[in-house]
Amino acid sequence: MAGEGISEVIRRRRTVKPKEFSDQMISREIIDEILENANWAPTHGFTEPWRFSVFTGDARHELAEFLAATYQAVTTEDTYRQNKYEGMKRNATLAPVVIVIGMKRQPSGKISELDEIQAVACAVQNMHLTATAHGIGGFWSSNSAATSEQMRDYIGLSGEDRALGLFYLGYPSNEWPVGKRQPIADKVRWVESKSGT
Ligand SMILES: Cc1cc2nc3c(=O)[nH]c(=O)nc-3n(C[C@H](O)[C@H](O)[C@H](O)COP(=O)(O)O)c2cc1C
């Protein structure tokens, strides 16, 4: 196991937005690898709640129209932003691959919704890291249309299932972005034995 390799991929992973993508297509082989690795995320009770709808080619235009119409439906005069509406129409067609992220609840509901959402987030991270290893950027967008009940139904889910957003994938047209984080020491509390035993 190459410990250095994984740290490099994790720290290199970056959010790259659709307007920063080139129009280079991602091969089917790489898309399959990205999806296969999502499937290896941890899952409480083996419910494997992640569901993905992969949009490429002309289907992206239909998705873009659906997103824009849904955005109009879920916003009010106060919350509507014209630039968001236009971004929604544009983004899905600027990315060569758009994956709608779904979470399917098991019928018994025995595993909590929180755990199911966390499992899906782990699956998305697996996808993002796999993309990084291939020099591909990703962007998880959780806008109101992408997480709406309308989107849940659009991807063939229902009831207690959820749509958790869009995951845009593409090759960056410019340099790989530089990341930033505050020190981990600010977010960790060590609890050690006072007696030293
Ligand atoms: C669950 C989740 C939802 C996100 N939704 C959005 C979003 O709707 N809009 C956005 O600009 N970024 C979104 N992001 C991406 C963050 O902006 C991004 O991760 C952050 O800027 C750090 O950049 P990095 O991913 O390159 O480290 C989301 C990230 C996560 C984990």
The answer to whether the pTM exceeds 0.85 is yes
Kindly report the CATH class assigned to 12-175: alpha beta
Distance, CA 181 to ligand 1 centroid (Å)? 13
Q: How far is the CA of 73 from the CAs of 53, 144, 151, in angstroms?
A: 22, 10, 12
Confirm or reject: Cβ of 147 under 6 Å from ligand 1.
Answer: no
Residue 56 and residue 23 in contact, taking contact as beta carbons nearer than 8 Å: no
> How would DSSP label each residue in 153-177?
HHTT--TT-EEEEEEEEE-BSSPPP
Q: What is the pLDDT of residues 143-174, one digit of tens each?
A: 999 999 999 999 999 999 999 999 999 999 99
pLDDT in tens, 114-151: 999 999 999 999 999 999 999 999 999 999 999 999 99
| Structure confidence by residue, pLDDT tens digits, 2-32 | 566 999 999 999 999 999 999 999 999 999 9
Which residues make beta-bridge pairs with 168? 98, 139
Summarize pLDDT for 57-85 with one digit per residue, the tens: 999 999 999 999 999 999 999 999 999 99
Q: Where in the chain are the domains? A: 12-175
Q: CA-to-CA distance for 155 and 158, rounded, in angstroms? A: 9
> Which DSSP category does 106 fall into?
P
Tell me, in angstroms, the distance from the centre of ligand 1 to residue 195's CA: 43
The residue contributing the CA closest to ligand 1 atom 19 is: 15
> Can you read off the two tokens belonging to residue 130?
């796999």
Ligand 1 touching residue 21 (CB < 6 A): no
Torsion 106-111-116-122 (CA) sign: negative
Ligand 1 binding pocket includes 142 (Cβ within 6 Å): yes
Which H helix or E strand runs over 91?
helix 82-94
**Which tokens is 107 given?**
């019928």
Say if residue 196's pLDDT is above 80: no
